[in-house]
């Protein structure tokens, strides 16, 4: 059963999600609704102009302390070719993520409404970006939402080889120092699997989220 959301700030129990994780459609992208979604193990997607709300089972996650760094990436890090920052170019990061062509996708799910919503979350201190710079230019990065001891990754982009991996690895080290226990990668990608991400049941994932 797929639920139609109303103006009421409420989500149905995630156990009612479809096999692909789709739980509900509609509603708005207000900060309060987005934060409730993340606390409930739900994340938004877009199909045209209608928000879609997902809670997949299993979930693709990464324990920060178990990140896998290849020898070639260790060489990239040691070379100091790239410079790493956080929250210095949030709007530019989300804009670049919206422009990256994704395999199997005709367009972007990061609509202007999505951008505005996460920029609001960033202003409120919940959404964060990690940036990779090369010779003063932004060449890679990622953004997501920090919810207690969980960081919910949303999207990443790369204009240079290894630039997004560099941002992810450096940001993971920072998250460890901030006592983040889990990085939510949402759905499977070979890129994140190579860094150590794996499947986790939705029930176990929910146990990491703040009450």
Give all domains of the chain, ordered by start, each with its CATH number: 3-57 (3.30.70.3550), 60-206 (3.40.630.70)
Q: b/e for 30-66, b at 16 or more Cβ within 10 A?
A: ebebbbebbbbbbbbbbeeeebbbbbbbbbbbbbbee
Backbone angles phi, psi at 5, to 5 degrees: -75, 150
The number of CA neighbours under 13 Å toward the Cβ of 92 is 14
Confidence grade of residue 21 (pLDDT, cut at 50, 70, 90): very high
Other CB atoms within 10 A of residue 83 CB: 14
89 by DSSP, 3-state: which? coil
Confidence grade of residue 108 (pLDDT, cut at 50, 70, 90): low
177 by DSSP, 3-state: which? helix
Whole-model pTM over 0.85 = yes
- Check pLDDT > 80 for residue 42: yes
Contact criterion met (CB below 8 Å) for 55 and 14: yes
> What does the alpha-carbon distance between residue 164 and residue 142 come to, in Å, rounded to a whole number?
7
User: What average pLDDT does the chain have?
Assistant: 93
pLDDT digits (tens, 9 = 90+) for 63-73: 999 999 999 99
């Amino acid at each position: 059963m797929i639920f139609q959301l109303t103006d009421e700030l409420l989500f149905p129990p995630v156990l009612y999600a479809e096999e692909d994780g789709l739980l509900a459609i509609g509603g708005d992208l207000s900060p309060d609704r987005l934060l409730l979604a993340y606390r409930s193990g739900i994340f938004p997607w877009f199909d045209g102009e209608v928000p879609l709300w997902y809670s997949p089972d299993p979930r693709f996650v990464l324990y920060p302390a178990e990140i896998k760094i290849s020898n070639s990436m260790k060489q990239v890090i040691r070379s100091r070719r790239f410079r790493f920052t956080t929250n210095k170019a949030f709007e530019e990061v989300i804009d670049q993520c919206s422009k990256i062509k994704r395999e199997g996708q005709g367009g972007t799910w990061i609509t202007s409404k999505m951008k505005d919503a996460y920029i609001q979350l960033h202003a409120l201190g919940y959404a964060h970006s990690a940036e990779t710079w090369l010779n003063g230019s932004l060449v890679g990065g990622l953004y997501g939402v920090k919810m207690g001891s969980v960081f919910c990754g949303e999207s990443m982009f790369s204009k240079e080889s290894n630039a997004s991996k560099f941002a992810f690895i450096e940001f993971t080290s920072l998250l460890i120092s901030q006592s983040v226990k889990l990085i939510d990668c949402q759905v499977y990608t070979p890129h994140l699997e190579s860094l150590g991400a794996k499947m986790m049941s939705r029930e176990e994932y929910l146990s990491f989220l703040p009450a």
